[in-house]
């Protein structure tokens, strides 16, 4: 498999090599290789159950490989102790499918939470940082509202502001547009662009939404039968002759054409 994304001159921020993982008899990852270069956005596609989330959990040290290596920002995760893993997680902003916002805290306090937990910043500095972060996602006006009072898309943006507040080098998104309507999906795509442009972050995005994938990716990767079987720029993947890529895109197009048309 060759990397045809044209990004190979950049430093690798995420490097997965020969990653194997089984749960009992079930072999989920069968030798995954994946490189995400610094400052780029890679979208990982694949059918449900193909192991995308399992792969992402290895990147934050929530799962340990049976075999293979995982390097993030130059560090081999297998060599890190708890303090090392903690330091690594500080470089990573994670946005999982559920926003996991604190319902009893205002938007402001949700976004301020990592700063209060993990830094010694003064209250004035926190106010300034949170105001700035909410400005980036267009939610300055919602600072005193509670998550339950916000739309799904707004909650996602709060989740992003909180994930990004410590200015992570790496942003991991697991299915960020799940259950969202097309308009809100578009606003999540904007948020992913924001992470790249304003933070210069390296992003890995898992999404079943192929249209979003093609919009936000510098590089697309397809998981199939426990491996990454193809990587490339969106136009390269679109033209790919790889049978698994063709089948995946064909099945997505078919599902699209069967969806009720919006008037």
Ligand X SMILES: Nc1ncnc2c1ncn2[C@@H]1O[C@H](COP(=O)(O)OP(=O)(O)OP(=O)(O)O)[C@@H](O)[C@H]1O
Residues of the shown chain interacting with ligand X in the complex, contacts defined by CB under 6 A:
23, 28, 46, 48-54, 208
The whole-angstrom separation of Cα 261 and Cα 263 is 6
Determine the 3-state secondary structure of 44 from DSSP. strand
Contacts for 119 with CB less than 8 Å, ≥ 6 apart: 166
Crossing angle of the two packed helices 107-118 and 152-164, in degrees rounded to 10: 20
Which residues lie across from 92 on neighbouring strands? 170
Are the C-beta atoms of residues 101 and 161 closer than 8 Å to each other?
A: no
- The vertex-76 CA angle with 27 and 74, nearest 5°, equals 125
The nearer residue to ligand X, 48 or 254, going by C-beta atoms, is 48
Nearer to ligand X, 53 or 69 (CB): 53
**Cα gap 83→38, rounded to integer Å:** 24
Q: 73 by DSSP, 3-state: which?
A: coil
By C-beta, is 48 or 258 nearer to ligand X?
A: 48
Closer CB to ligand X, 146 or 214, in the complex: 214
Nearer to ligand X, 165 or 192 (CB): 192
CB of 30 to ligand X, least distance (A): 12
* Nearest distance, CB of residue 169 and ligand X, angstroms: 23
Tokens matching residue 177: 């547009």
Q: How far apart are CA 68 and CA 149, in angstroms?
A: 45
CA 69 to chain centre: 20
Nearer to ligand X, 39 or 46 (CB): 46
Q: Least separation, in Å, of the C-beta of 207 and ligand X? A: 9
Taking the complex as a whole, the smallest distance from the CB of residue 149 to ligand X amounts, in Å, to 28
**Least gap, CB of 226 to ligand X (angstroms):** 9
Half-sphere exposure (CA, 13 Å, Cβ side) for 147? 18
* Residue 52 or 71 having the CB closest to ligand X: 52
Closest approach of Cβ 16 to ligand X, in Å? 14
Nearest approach in angstroms of CB 145 to ligand X is: 30
CB 160 within 8 A of CB 193: no
């Amino acid at each position: 498999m060759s990397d045809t994304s044209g990004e190979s001159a950049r430093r690798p921020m995420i490097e997965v090599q020969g990653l194997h993982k089984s749960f009992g008899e079930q072999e989920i990852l069968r030798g995954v290789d994946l490189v995400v270069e610094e400052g780029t956005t890679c979208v990982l596609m694949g059918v449900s159950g193909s192991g995308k989330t399992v792969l992402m959990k290895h990147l934050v040290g929530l799962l340990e490989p049976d075999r293979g290596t995982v390097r993030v920002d130059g560090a081999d995760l297998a060599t890190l102790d708890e303090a090392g893993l903690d330091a690594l997680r500080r470089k990573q902003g994670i946005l999982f499918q559920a926003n996991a916002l604190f319902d009893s805290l205002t938007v402001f306090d949700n976004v301020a939470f990592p700063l209060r937990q993990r830094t010694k910043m003064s209250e004035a500095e926190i106010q300034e940082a949170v105001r700035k972060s909410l400005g980036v996602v267009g939610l300055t006006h919602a600072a005193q509202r509670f998550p339950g009072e916000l739309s799904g898309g707004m909650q996602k943006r709060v989740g992003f502001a909180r994930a990004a507040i410590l200015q992570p080098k790496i942003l991991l998104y697991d299915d960020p547009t799940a259950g969202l309507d097309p308009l809100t999906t578009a606003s999540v795509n904007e948020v992913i662009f924001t992470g790249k442009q304003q933070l210069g972050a390296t992003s890995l995005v898992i999404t079943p939404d192929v249209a979003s994938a093609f919009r936000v990716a510098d590089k697309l990767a397809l998981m199939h039968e426990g491996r990454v079987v193809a990587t490339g720029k969106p136009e390269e993947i679109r033209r790919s002759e790889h049978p698994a890529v063709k089948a995946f895109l064909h099945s997505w197009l078919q599902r699209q054409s069967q969806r009720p048309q919006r008037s």
